[in-house]
Structure 1
């Protein structure tokens, strides 16, 4: 019995020491979040003595937030400015200036959750109006404002929620841009890419880093009036974890500004279309950037 107790205590102590050197990175099940979670894991393990474990499949943002609060995970692989402003902070109105919105969410999650919102990876995953390249070339479409002369002749495909949202939905869009489309067709966001490519609709509201933009060779239009909220993508870390492992901040910041929208779209394409392993996609990118060693 004495031997068993000693063995049990030894096991507990050993487990405690081991878990103290491990940080857990949570992510949602999208290719984008999975790739970035692997990047964080590899850059942490390649530049510190810490081990990093991935906790995937967390579902919607509230699940990630709860896991962070419960300390089930210490790092959110990716959080988006606009999403947190409305979800975790519950704001209905806020500045659409990217820097002001960033400061607002950074200060808000620090005060409310004692978490550090890191600088952006370098890209936004926001809404973008998207057309076939031939239509963009024909009418010289570069920005949303360029749509004004032809919008009445265009059919728009978009998820139904955007048509109904009060602050950044269709009604507010029509006021800000003075643009109304000839026809609007509600559809699942996953179907809009094929719909515009096939000519079922002329223009769709898509996501800026979706791999299907590259797959179908679609053209995206600049939001020149900054109508859509900024959705800059950043990792978020519990502050008590950073106090325990201060080296983490410098290591994670190695990814700051390294991934622009075009790059993230290409990385998503490798996972979604070419079916490459997200861990290998992350490794190849980090090696190219000199952020880890072979």
Structure 2
């Protein structure tokens, strides 16, 4: 009888192929979140394989659907617009429920609890640039777009929640130039004056560290981007403990917290795994030393 109970308990902590494969996309916040998910699960006794830095949204989504990974952090706004290609809305709960229902029906994927943080896309300028052009809102930026160079991730040029959507919402403006660049290069190029506007995320640590001006989204274009683990139903059914482990982390992740943690990596050049473990230990989310 004891042997049978032991076998059942062990099976509960086994993934589809004996491990939980944790993925992430290819930028700082995703590295940190991916490490957090992996560390929390390992602390609960799950064997984990890290498959971080997969690439952009289409790559991560395909890996999840095909079973190359079992879960990864995703944003509600990205799921709504990029994956599901549904209309944008600014209602956080409505967006979460819409994507959770659709992912279950279309992909057999489960959204766990979303964090309070809203890593919405944003546009920023230096204080000098903002003052020079008199720009503090996206409408004011759009009015002078033909004089301005914008820098951002390559996919921003094509995403519906990127440049095409902005142009529809803000008078079909035309930029002087758009520079596609690795996310890690945006802020230095902006500071060096090679671009006037940068595509940002509201949890980027550089916004406060560099005293940048966050342009007001006065047409409420950008949808909410709460983050949550998206998990294969097959994995979750076999490993129900995943839900409690990762849901305990969600309430700890606020905009202010992620700005600070992101800058530890992007600004201070610390390793994402080190930053993630330090935070989890401070918050009492790791039982093992």
Deviation for aligned residue 1:227? 0.4
Unaligned runs of 5+ in 2: 1-6
| Larger of the two Rg values belongs to structure | 1
Where does residue 84 of structure 1 map in the other structure?
A: 79
Deviation for aligned residue 1:143? 5.1
Where does residue 223 of structure 1 map in the other structure?
A: 217
Moved more, 251-260 or 136-145: 136-145
1:158 and 1:184 in contact (8 A); partners too: no
Deviation for aligned residue 1:138? 9.1
Deviation for aligned residue 1:180? 5.7
**Per the alignment, in what secondary structure is the counterpart of residue 57 of structure 1?**
coil
Aligned residue pairs, count: 275
Where does residue 125 of structure 1 map in the other structure?
A: 119
Where does residue 245 of structure 2 map in the other structure?
A: 251
2:81 and 2:160 in contact (8 A); partners too: no
2:100 and 2:110 in contact (8 A); partners too: yes
Deviation for aligned residue 1:139? 9.6
* CA distance in 2 between partners of 1:173 and 1:61 (Å): 20
1:27 equivalenced with 2:24 (yes/no): yes
Q: Normalized against structure 2, the TM-score is what?
A: 0.77
1:157 equivalenced with 2:160 (yes/no): no
Q: 1:54 to 1:269 in 2, by over 3 A?
A: same
Deviations along 1:179-237, one digit per CA (max 9) or x if unpaired, are 968x6321124454234323444433323333443453323234243202332221111
Where does residue 273 of structure 2 map in the other structure?
A: 279
Moved more, 78-87 or 112-121: 78-87
Where does residue 5 of structure 1 map in the other structure?
A: none
Deviations along 1:93-116, one digit per CA (max 9) or x if unpaired, are 343433222211111111111111
Deviations along 1:56-94, one digit per CA (max 9) or x if unpaired, are 232232332233233332212x112232234433x2534
* CA distance in 1 between partners of 2:71 and 2:86 (Å): 26
- The partner residue of 2:64 within 68, 84, 102 is 68
Q: 1:165 to 1:50 in 2, by over 3 A?
A: closer
**Per the alignment, in what secondary structure is the counterpart of residue 187 of structure 1?**
strand
Where does residue 57 of structure 1 map in the other structure?
A: 53
Deviation for aligned residue 1:169? 5.1
1:214 and 1:266 in contact (8 A); partners too: no
1:75 and 1:237 in contact (8 A); partners too: yes
Cα RMSD for the two superposed structures:
3.5
Deviations along 1:258-281, one digit per CA (max 9) or x if unpaired, are 222232232122122322121111
* CA distance in 2 between partners of 1:112 and 1:61 (Å): 17
1:154 and 1:202 in contact (8 A); partners too: no
* CA distance in 2 between partners of 1:129 and 1:81 (Å): 19
* CA distance in 2 between partners of 1:125 and 1:136 (Å): 22
* CA distance in 2 between partners of 1:187 and 1:72 (Å): 32
